[in-house]
Amino acid sequence: MPGCTHEGEYRAPKSRDNLRDYFWFCLDHVRAYNATWDFYKGMSSSQIEAHMRSDVIWQRPTWPLGRLGRGAVDDEAIVDRLDILGAAGFRRGTRPPAESAPSALRDPLHTLGLPWPVSLDDVKTRYKALAKVHHPDANGGDRAAEERLKTINLAYAALRAHFVGGTAMAAP
């Protein structure tokens, strides 16, 4: 500061655009400077809000959960030239067969897309994968995704009820 005889030991940023460029002040003058300095001076309320929101994520890009910056997977883009999926019973628009399953488990197996027989570990793994995909947070709060997740939860609960010690119980 002009006229100050004290040594400038304390730094203060010159502007919000370049926070690594400093003025150097004595203790009294840095206190006075900091008391009047406004980081958000000249910004509109929407700019301030946007800046504060970007600070929460450290100014890094983000995207909706489960998408990694891409859109949803297009089933038509999957090319199975060796018919590996078809040989395993997976056809476009169909689910793996569960006809041999107990009648009470057919709908839950169909909902989770699992074949019969199935282990509890397979049920848990498939449930976790479907819950990630159909969770409303992963779909922008979509009500349809919420309903699909409810159906998946009911199917998972029904299948878990039929397992004892990790193996499927016999049909009634």
The model's pLDDT over 50-79, given as tens digits with 9 standing for 90+, comes to: 888 888 888 887 766 665 555 555 556 667
pLDDT of residue 141: 78
How confident is the model over 38-55, as pLDDT tens digits?
Answer: 888 889 999 999 888 888
Q: Where are the alpha helices (DSSP H) in 22-71?
A: 27-36, 45-56
pTM of the model: 0.41
Q: Are 30 and 12 in contact (CB under 8 A)?
A: yes
3 state SS of 78: coil
- Taking the domains of the chain in order of start, what are their residue ranges? 10-56, 75-168
Handedness of CA 41, 45, 50, 53 (dihedral sign): positive
The burial class, CB within 10 Å (0-12 / 13-18 / 19+), for 114 is buried
Give the dihedral of Cα atoms 131, 137, 141, 146; nearest 10 deg.
20
> Which portions of the chain are predicted below pLDDT 70?
63-78, 85-100, 164-172
Max CA pair span of the chain: 96
75-168 architecture in CATH? Orthogonal Bundle (1.10)
